[in-house]
Structure 1
Amino acid sequence: MTQVQHPSAPVRDWLIGLQSSIIDALQQLEIEAGSTARFIRDPWQKSGNEPLQGDGITCIIEGGKVFERAGCGFSHVRGPALPPSATERRPELAGAPFEAMGVSLVFHPLNPYVPTVHMNVRMLTATPAGGAPVSWFGGGMDLTPYYAYEEDARHFHQVCRDSLAPFGEDKYPRYKAWCDEYFCLRHRGEQRGIGGIFYDDVSELGFEQGFAMMQSVGGHFLDAYLPIVRRRKDEPWGERERDFQRYRRGRYVEFNLVFDRGTHFGLQSGGRTESILLSMPPHATWAYQRTFEPGSREAELTERFLVRRDWL
């Protein structure tokens, strides 16, 4: 692969630091809860005759008192040709050698009153034949509650807006709408959660500002999520709430396997399957045409929260 002009080392170092800070914060929550569960740190490397070369660190905790399953992965890979999922918006780069790095996480709490969360920040650089390297950035975060609260939704979106404020007043409205459009189960006509922000293939800011925006989004994640976890993690719950949580997690699985571009990119490019699928919940269920009693908290989720709204 042609040497890229943009220095990737500072981006890599920052991403590894981001992963560590997030894992440390979640581990502290488990310790405070009296849990003996600890994050497993699993470094990996792809080499030899595989088309995709690179390395990464997968960190995962299972069976905690706060998080039933939480995975946070760093990856840095290089390949001879961009997969189709990465060139939908950039057909001129189809088949170009590439370098991709990022941090991606999905946390599935044990308590159904604590929402599932997803966050991802990434950079991708491609070098078309005879051309100069092209770098672009993507990322965002979104919240998927099972039992939703207005104050939690407002807090999450406020921090999302704060993370983008230095880069233009247009960014939060654009990326909030982009998130609503992206995290939609189109075959059901249903939002995955209450949204957040999402952006992809962003290069108009240039390398330095694109990197700075990625740092801001990733750096605001804990501020967006941890206060919600601390507010809800000790709410009493029973089998009814647990059953509903598993049912809604089924929707999460549907989205990740059918629509998620990150999942498709990883599998199409020959990525590490165990790391790619760390976003899957440990338990999920499906039911045929299930309905819920009008006025119930379960019905409220679909009627009031799984809709596209201005949360601020």
Structure 2
Amino acid sequence: MDLGEMKQEKAAASVWFRTLRDEIVQSFENLEDTQAVGPFSGLPAGRFEVTQTTRTGDAGEDAGGGVMSVMRGGRVFEKVGVNISTVHGTLGPRAQAAMMARKGFDGMADDPRFWASGISLVAHMQNPHTPSVHMNTRMFWTPHAWWFGGGSDLNPCIEYSDDTAHFHATQQTWLDPHGEAHYPKLKAWADEYFYIPHRNRARGVGGVFMDDYSTGDWAADFALTQDLGRAFLPAYQPLVEGRRNTKWTDADKDAQLVHRGLYAEYNLVYDRGTKFGLETGHDANAVLMSLPPMAKWV
């Protein structure tokens, strides 16, 4: 495909991320509405607070933005964010160097323009038996190359093998139509990416992940990215429905807070999306939406 400006492709990707965001927000608010038992059932059903975000270019020009949707203190979700953004501009020297270290971006110093769109979701739950989760998918374009990335991974503080098996099996069901080699490859990629070297352990129980993904067939790569997004709700929502009424102890809650500390460490030290968002001047509150409302270190 001629890289050109890819205007139609960019528009289609941006619209898709918004469509996926709307579906997830509605499903999560439905979970809040149907939570009728437990210590938080007397609270008002949680609703997302929606804020427009903006990015300003180096010369003060409009460089895109997005929508930050965050729910706090709900019956099921203690904090959950579902953000979308479409931003553009030129990459600074540090970001250019990072791009040129990757395949296909050799010309960034001569033409550092970029465009990026995506969805990012992180959910931290009231009940420590209900697993936290992360999901994001994105498209990145420069005049030199384009790629897709993202996936989803499960982060329980109290692991249930049945939940882990369901989450992975659902991902495989959605990936196999694109080729049976995809699931094992993207699972291994997630295991490597969501690893915390200074703790010598994984962040959670894994999932699927890809980055810098471009076969040269934009339509096929976009279809794969869409199915990564479509897999999220059937992989995750049944786990919430199955665990949200489980009784917990003070020890369970303590384990949850400690695990959240682990999650925060990863996002602040290693996560590429966090680094990119902050380095390119996107709204810091939107970039750091993934951090839990409370955490603990021992």
Unaligned runs of 5+ in 1: 129-133, 288-312
How far has the Cα of 1:205 moved from its partner?
5.0
SS in 2 for 1:92: coil
Query: Does 2:91 correspond to 1:81?
Result: yes
How far has the Cα of 1:86 moved from its partner?
4.4
Distance 1:24 1:183, change over 3 A: same
How far has the Cα of 1:5 moved from its partner?
2.7
* Structure-2 separation of matches of 1:86 and 1:23: 33
Larger deviation, residues 116-125 vs 158-167:
158-167
* Structure-2 separation of matches of 1:189 and 1:162: 30
* Structure-1 separation of matches of 2:62 and 2:79: 28
| Aligned position for 2:296 | 285
- Aligned pairs for 1:39-58 (under 5 A) are 39-47=48-56, 49-50=59-60, 53-58=63-68
| Aligned position for 1:14 | 16
The AA in structure 1 aligned to 2:55 is K
| Aligned position for 1:122 | 138
* Structure-2 separation of matches of 1:20 and 1:263: 23
Distance 1:243 1:51, change over 3 A: farther
Distance 1:32 1:93, change over 3 A: farther
CA contact (8 A) 1:141 1:197 kept: yes
* Structure-1 separation of matches of 2:267 and 2:62: 22
SS in 2 for 1:196: strand
CA contact (8 A) 1:176 1:196 kept: yes
CA contact (8 A) 1:135 1:203 kept: yes
| Aligned position for 2:27 | 25
SS in 2 for 1:187: helix
CA RMSD across the alignment: 1.7
CA contact (8 A) 1:51 1:270 kept: no
| Aligned position for 2:115 | 99
The AA in structure 2 aligned to 1:94 is M
* Structure-2 separation of matches of 1:126 and 1:73: 22
Identity, in percent, stands at 38
* Structure-2 separation of matches of 1:47 and 1:18: 26
Larger deviation, residues 199-208 vs 223-232:
199-208
SS in 1 for 2:106: helix
Distance 1:44 1:88, change over 3 A: same
Per-residue displacement from partner, 1:9-49 (whole Å, max 9, x unpaired)?
11111111110100000011111115422111112233473
Query: Does 2:288 correspond to 1:271?
Result: no
Determine which of 178, 193, 214 is the counterpart of 1:203: 214
Distance 1:5 1:256, change over 3 A: same
The AA in structure 2 aligned to 1:223 is P
The AA in structure 2 aligned to 1:279 is S
- TM-score using structure 2 length: 0.90
* Structure-2 separation of matches of 1:5 and 1:191: 37
Number of aligned residue pairs: give it.
Answer: 281
Query: Does 2:6 correspond to 1:5?
Result: yes
- Aligned pairs for 1:161-180 (under 5 A) are 161-180=172-191
The AA in structure 1 aligned to 2:74 is G
Per-residue displacement from partner, 1:217-246 (whole Å, max 9, x unpaired)?
101100000000000000001211111100
The AA in structure 2 aligned to 1:196 is G
- TM-score using structure 1 length: 0.86
Query: Does 2:154 correspond to 1:154?
Result: no
Larger deviation, residues 234-243 vs 91-100:
91-100
The AA in structure 2 aligned to 1:20 is D
The AA in structure 2 aligned to 1:17 is T
* Structure-2 separation of matches of 1:30 and 1:205: 42
The AA in structure 2 aligned to 1:180 is D
